[in-house]
Structure 1
């Protein structure tokens, strides 16, 4: 697969998403950044501002989100638009790559965890680089298995923590190098 035949989807937040975008640009991968009115992403290349109508297509009950994520949200309305944007990313990008932390309950820490849960729900290939463990994992048969993934689909999501470590940066760089080098 050639990099120019691929498209990365993300929301341009600082940290993992912005760095996925930088690597995509370096390797010649197409990039689309989803956002919503009133939000300015840190990386805004090929920006798509989702309308209220488009955002509503990604709407879901916060009660269901809490159940799937196995946690409660103190200010659900504040995170709703973020979750709606994540829906559009995962809906467009077939394979999902996340840099963050896998929690003991098998979810992924933070809002990024919603991308992981949607990938599971949509039966998409899902890979997480756990910065605490320093390893990649793939969701397979209802559990996390250690893996060394490659970008193997023309559309993919790159998302994750805003607190990207040097090891996380290297994991993203290595992913692109393994996939397109």
Structure 2
């Protein structure tokens, strides 16, 4: 795979997403950061600010999101816009990589979990680096299976926790190094 034909999609927040962007930039992978008006970013390279109409294309029921993620999301404008932005990321990138924590019920903790649920719904190749376990897992046949994934598609998503551990940072670096050996 030619790294110069690849594009990373994220929302440029601190932690995992900024680190995905930094690693992509180091090796020459294109990066697109989706955002919305008033959203504070840590990484402001190649930002696409989604209009209200574009955001609404990714609209979801907060009740549905709450049910799918087994947690309560209140009807707030900012959370809705974050979830709408995540829709655009997952809709744009074929393969999805997330850094976070897999919960007992199989969901992933936090807003990051929405990227995971969308990837499942869209039948995207999905990989999560579970920071507490310090291991990568791939979603296959309805369950998480330990794996050593590589970037295998021209478009991919890098998402995850704002609270990136050293193990999470190393996992992202290793993912790029293994996927694009010099």
TM-score (structure 2 length as normaliser):
0.98
Q: Structure 1: where are the runs of 5+ without partners?
A: none
Q: What residue number does 1:6 align with?
A: 6
Contact 2:65/2:73 (<8 A) preserved: no
List aligned pairs for 1:1-181, cutoff 5 A. 1-181=1-181
In 1, the alpha carbon distance for the partners of 2:132 and 2:2 equals: 32
Contact 2:62 2:75 in 1 (8 A): no
SS in 2 for 1:80: helix
Give 4+ residue runs of structure 1 displaced > 2 Å after superposition: 74-78
The CA RMSD over aligned residues, in Å, is 0.8
2:9·2:34 contact (CA, 8 Å) conserved in 1? yes
- Work out the CA distance in 2 between the residues paired with 1:74 and 1:91: 24
Unaligned ranges ≥5, structure 2: none
Deviations 1:10-44 (A, max 9, x none): 00000000000000000100000000011131101
Cα shift readout 1:62-99 (whole Å, capped 9, x = no counterpart): 11111111111245433100000000000000000000
**Distance between the aligned counterparts of 1:41 and 1:54, measured in 2?**
19
Number of aligned residue pairs: give it.
Answer: 181
Query: SS of the counterpart of 1:162?
Result: coil
Aligned partners of 2:97 and 2:128 also within 8 Å: yes
SS, match of residue 53 in structure 1:
helix
Cα offsets for 1:39-71 (capped at 9, x unmatched): 131101000000000000000111111111111
Partner SS for 1:44: coil
* Contact in 2 for aligned 1:127/1:149 (Cα 8 Å): yes
Structure 2: distance between partners of 1:175 and 1:10: 16
